Amino acid sequence: MKTNDVIFQTVAKVVFFMIIFFAVRIFFAGHYYPGGGFVGGLLTSGAIVLLLLAFDMKTVKKGLPIDFKCLIGLGLLFGAGTAAGSLLFNVPFFTHAYDYFQLPLFGKTSLHTAMLFDLGVYFVVIGVTMTIIQTIGESE
Amino acid sequence: MSLLHWAILAPFILAAFVPFVRKKAPSIHTGWFVFVLPVVLFVSFLQYLPVTMNNDSVSKTVSWIPSLGIDFTAYVDGLSLLFVLLITGIGALVVLYSTYYLSKTKESLQHFYVYLLMFMGAMLGVVLSDNVITLYMFWELTSISSFLLIAYWFDRDRSRYGAMKSMLITVFGGLMMLGGFAVLSIMGGTFSIRELAAQAPELNNHPLFLLAMILILLGAFTKSAQFPFYIWLPDAMEAPTPVSAYLHSATMVKAGIYLVARFSPIFAFSSYWFWIVGAVGLFTMVWASFNAVKQTDLKGILAFSTVSQLGLIMCLLGVSSAALYFDSLDDNLYTAAVIAAVFHLINHATFKGSLFMVVGIIDHETGTRDIRRLGGLMSLMPVTFTLSVIGAFSMAGLPPFNGFLSKEMFFLSMVQLTELNLFQLETWGMLLPVLAWIGSVFTFIYSIILVFNVFGGKFQPEKLEKKPHEAPAGMLISPIVLAALVILFGLFPNLLSYSLIQPAAASIVPSIIPAGDQLYVNIYFWHGITVELLMTIGVVAVGIVLYKFLPKWIGLYDYFPGKVTLNQFYNSSLYVAERGSNSLTKAYMTGFIRSYLVYIFAFFIAILGFTMWAKNAFRFDASNTAPIGFYEAGLLVVLCISIVTILMAKSRLTSIIALGAVGYSVSLFFVIFRAPDLALTQLVIETVSTALFLLCFYHLPKLYRHEEKIGFQIGNAIIAAGVGIIVTLIGISAHSTKLFSSINEYYIENTYSKAGGENMVNVILVDFRGFDTLFEISVLSVAALGIYGLIKLRMEKGGEQHENK
C-alpha cells in the first residue's frame, strides 16, 4: 500500500537540518556545556533515522552514500590516534594539549585535542547506531 | 653427563632409532638390533661389582632443575646394581626370546621394541635414581610403557581391559607415592634419598612420618601387586609372553620391592613398618598361592604365583627391620631375613622368567594355555618339560634348586621371629611360621599342577589347534640359560653371597654394619636337620597328599562367592563412579538457563549474606543523608508503579511500555539530581532500546504467542526478594560506613585550570579518564559488528554460507 505522505516528507526535510545543527551545536559545546560526542552522535543518527522513516532506505543511501561500518573504523582511528599522538611528543599516552588562538571569524577560541577524541566518539556512535538500525531494517 | 647417565638414557635413544631400523631392514628381525644394547649394558655394569663388593658406591650428578633442588643423580650401590643386572640380564634374554617368539611379518615389531626399550630405560632410571622426583618420573614411565605393552594386541578387548586396569591401579599408587615423596622431602628438606636416610632418626619422630610411610607403601604395594592391589597382574597376562616374563615376573613388579628396600633405612625403625610390610606381604603370599591352585590358564597360575612370591619377598623385607634392633652383628640372627629377601629376589627372577618363557613355548607350539586341554606333552617336548621341571621345582622349594635354599631361609627367619620380644610378637608371633607354611603348601601344589597337568597324563590331540612339537632352538636358549642359573645358584649359592647378596643387603639395612665390617652371609648353612628342613618335608608330604586328592576338594573354591571378589569390587566401583558422576552431572546441569540463574543468585545471596553476618558488617547511619523532596517522592511512586506493572502485566506490550516509563523516570531522576549529560543520553538510549524491544516483540513466532501473566513461583520470589534485600542492605551499609572523603574535589578544582573545559563530566570522560571511553566505544563497535554478523551471516542448514542478497 503506497500512501502519500508529502507533509511528513516535507517536514522531515526541514527538521532534518534543525536536528543536525542542534547535534553539531551539542557536540562542539561538549567541553563547556552539557553534551559531547555521545549525545551529538545519537542525535545525528536520530536525524538520519527520521529520513529513513520519511523516505525509504534506497533514497537515503543515495543521498548519504556512507558505509557506516567504515565510520566506526574511522571513529576508532580518531580515538586511538588522538591518544597515541601524545606519544610523539614524549608525554604519556592520552595526554591532551590545548591552547587559545585568535581565529579570524571566531575571535579568541580554544583548540583542544580532546575535541579530536570526541570526534572519534561521535563517528563511532553514528556508525554503531546506523549499522544496527540499517542491518535490522534490511533483514527479513 | 657421565657414562652412567648415558647408560640410563641409552635405551631411550635406541628406541628412537628402532622404527627406522625396522623400515630400512625389514628382512632382519628388529630384535637382533635391540639385543645388543642390554648385553652391552649388562657387561658394562658388571664392572661395578668390585666397587659394591667393598660396600662402596658410585654417584654421579647432572643438574636438572637446580633451582628446585631436583637433580638427576645416578647412584650405584649393592641394591641398585643387583636390580640393574637383573634388568639388563633378563632384558637381554627376553629380547633374544622375543626374536623367535614374535613373527617378523605379522607383528608390528617397531612398536614392541620401542615400548620395551622405553620400559628398560625407565626401569634403569628407577633403580639408579637417588632423587625422589627423578625416581618418580621413571616410575611413571614404567607404568606407561607397561600399559602400552599390555595392550600390544590392542584389537583384543581383554588386552585393553587389562591395560586400563593396570594403568589405573599403578598410577593411583604412583600418585600416592609422589605425595609420600613430597611429604618426606618436606620433613627432611631434601629430595635425595641418601640425605634423607642420613637423618632417619629425626624423621622417625616427625608427626608426618606415618603419613609419608603409608603413601610410599601404597606406591610400592600397587606396583608389586600386593593385597588388595594384586588384581591387575592376572589381567596383565594378556600381554605377549616375553612381556609377561620380563615385566610381570622379573622386573617391573619388583620395582615396589626395590622401593621398600630402598626406603628401609628411613622407615624400618618403626614398628608400623614391621607390621604393615610384613603382614601385607605374608597375607598376599598365602592368599595368592591359595588362589593360584584354582586357575586353569597357565599364565593365570604364573601370575598368582608371582603375586605370592612377591608377597614372600615383601614379608621378608618387612620383618628384616627386626635386625635393626640388635646392635651387634655377631649374635644378630635376624639379618637372615634380609639375606633371604635378596636371595629369593634373584631366584624368583630366574625361575619365574624361565617358567613364563616355557609357558610361551607351550602356547606357541600347541595353540592353547588351558591346562584342561593340555596333557601328555612330556615325550613330545622333552626340553621344554625339563625346563619346566627345573623352574617349577625351584618355585616349589625342592632341592637341589635355588628356590629350596631361599625357602629354607624364609622359614628360618619366620621361626626366629617367634623368639623375638619386639613389636608384641609374643601374642601373634606363632601365626607367622604357620601362615608361611600354609602358603608354601599351596605353592607346592600349583607348581606340581604346572608340571604334571601339562606334561603328564593323557595326550589329547583332538583338543589342540596345532600339532605340538618341540620349540625351535633359538626360543629355548633363554629359558635354558635361566634354568641353568637356577641349578647353578642352587648348587653353588656362594657364588652370589659376597658378589651380590651381601652388598644389596648392606644397602637395605646399613645401620647394622659397623664401618669396615662386613655382613656375614651364611647360605651354605643349609644342611643339617633343622626346624626349617622338617617344615619343608612337611610341605612336600602334605602337598603330595593334597595334590592326589585335588579333584575331591577343588570344589571348595566354588563356595567362595563370586560376588565379593576384589575384581568384582573393582569393576563395580568403576561402574558406580562412572554412573554416579554421570547422574550427578545430569542432576544439576539441567540445560535450563533458569536453573543456572537460580544457582548463581542463590550462591550470591548465600555468600554475601554469610559475609555480612560473619563480619558483622551491617551499619545504619542516617546522619549523612539528604532530605527527601516532593519531586523525588513523586517520581519514586511513578517508578514503583511502572515496575509493578512490568511484573503483573498480562501482555508483553504493556511490559515494554512500562519499561520505557521506568527509563524515562530514571532520566527525570537524573534531571532532578542535576546530571544533564546523563539525562540526555538516558532519554535517547531509552527511546532506541524501546524501539528495539518493539521490534523483537513484533517478530515473535505466532505459534508461542500466548498472552498470559508470568506464572508465580515461590522459589523465584524468595530468590528475587533475597537478592533485593541483600543488595539494599549492602548499599545502606556502604553508605553508612564511608571511610574516606571523595576525590571529586580534585576534579572540581582542575577541570578548567588543567584541562581547559567547564563541563566536568565531559572533561572526565575524554580527558581525565579518557582511557575508559576509548574502550567503551570499542565495546559499542564490537556490538554493532556482532549484530551485523549475526543477521547477515546466516548459515543454512547444510552448513553452506548464506551470502548477502
Inter-chain contact A31–B758, Cβ cutoff 8 Å?
Answer: yes
Contact assessment for residue A31 and residue A112, using Cβ atoms and an 8 Å cutoff: yes
- What is the domain count for chain A? 1
Residue A60, min C-alpha distance to chain B (Å): 19
Scan residues 679-718 of B and list those with Cβ closer than 8 Å to A: 680-681, 684-685, 688, 692, 695
Question: Rounded mean pLDDT of chain B?
Answer: 85
Q: Is residue B428 part of a domain?
A: yes
From A79, which residue of chain B is nearest by alpha-carbon distance? B774
Question: For residues A117 and A110, what is the distance between their CA atoms, to the nearest angstrom?
Answer: 15
Q: Is residue B162 assigned to a domain?
A: no
Q: Are the CB atoms for B360 and B457 separated by under 8 Å? A: no
**B784 to A33: CB separation less than 8 angstroms, yes or no:** no
User: Is residue B187 one of the residues assigned to a domain?
Assistant: no
The secondary structure of B72-113 as a DSSP string is EEEEE-HHHHHHHHHHHHHHHHHHHHHHHHS-TTTS-HHHHH
Task: For helices B402-417 and B431-455, give the axis angle rounded to 10 degrees.
Answer: 160
Please provide the DSSP assignment of B588-646 as one string: H--S-HHHHHHHHHHHHHHHHHHHHHHTT------TTPPPP-HHHHHHHHHHHHHHHHH
More confident residue, B88 or B423: B88
**Mean pLDDT in residue range B421-447:** 80
Of A76, A124, A136, the CB nearest to B791: A136
Residue that terminates a domain, selected from B573, B601, B632? B573
Which residue, of B518, B547, B573, is where some domain finishes?
A: B573
The pTM of this model reads 0.81
Q: Which whole-number Å values give the CA distances from B318 to B149, B323, B521, B535, in the listed order?
A: 31, 10, 19, 22
Cell of B404: 629350596
In this predicted structure, what is the pLDDT of residue B805? 42
**DSSP characters over B340-395:** HHHHHHHHHHHHHHHHHHHHHHHHHHHS--BTTT----TTTSHHHHHHHHHHHHHH
For residues B663-688, give the mean pLDDT: 91
Of residues B38 and B320, more confidently modeled: B38
Chain B residues close to A33, C-beta within 8 Å = 758-759
For A100, the closest chain B residue by CA position comes to B756
Asked if B723 and B604 touch (Cβ cutoff 8 Å), the reply is yes
Residue A59 domain boundaries = 5-138
pLDDT (mean) for B260-266 = 89
Distance CA B577, CA B585 (A): 12
The predicted structure's pLDDT at residue B800: 53
pLDDT of A92 over the 60 cut: yes
In chain B, how many domains are there? Answer: 2
Give the max Cα distance, chain A: 64
Mean pLDDT of B107-119: 89
Q: Which three cell numbers stand for residue B371?
A: 591346562
> Taking CB atoms and an 8 Å cutoff, what residues of chain B touch A37?
766
Dist CA B107 CA B110 (whole Å):
9
What would the pLDDT profile of A47-91 be if each residue is shown by its tens digit?
A: 998 888 888 888 888 888 888 999 999 999 999 988 888 888 888
Distance (Å, rounded) from C-alpha B716 to C-alpha B451? 76
Average pLDDT over residues A107-128: 87
pLDDT at B70 over 90: no
DSSP at A115: H
Q: Please name which of B675, B784, B782, B758 lies closest in space to residue A114, comparing C-alpha atoms.
A: B758
Q: Is the pLDDT of residue B55 over 50?
A: yes
Give the three cell numbers for residue A50.
527520521
Instruction: Give the pLDDT confidence score for residue B516 in this predicted structure.
Output: 54
3-state secondary structure of A107: strand
**Integer Cα distance of B780 and A124 in angstroms:** 8
**What is the C-alpha to C-alpha distance for residues B447 and B389, in angstroms, rounded to an integer?**
9
What pLDDT was estimated at residue B217? 92
Q: Is residue B343 a part of any domain in this protein? A: yes
Angle at B355 between CA B349 and CA B356, to 5 degrees: 90
Reference A32, options B234, B763, B669; nearest CA is: B763
pLDDT band at B470 (very low <50, low <70, confident <90, very high): confident
- The answer to the question of residue B602 being in a domain is no
Question: Which SS3 state, helix, strand or coil, does residue B565 take?
Answer: coil
User: What pLDDT sits at residue B515?
Assistant: 55
Q: Of B512, B547, B573, which residue sits at a domain end?
A: B573
Distance from CA of A4 to the nearest CA of B (A): 24
Range of the domain at B501: 272-573
Question: Alpha-carbon distance B646 to B709, whole Å?
Answer: 10
B223 near B153, Cβ under 8 Å? Answer: no
**Is the predicted pLDDT of residue B314 greater than 80, yes or no?**
yes
Residue B21 lies in a domain: no
CB within 8 Å of chain B, chain A residues 43-72: 43, 46, 69, 72
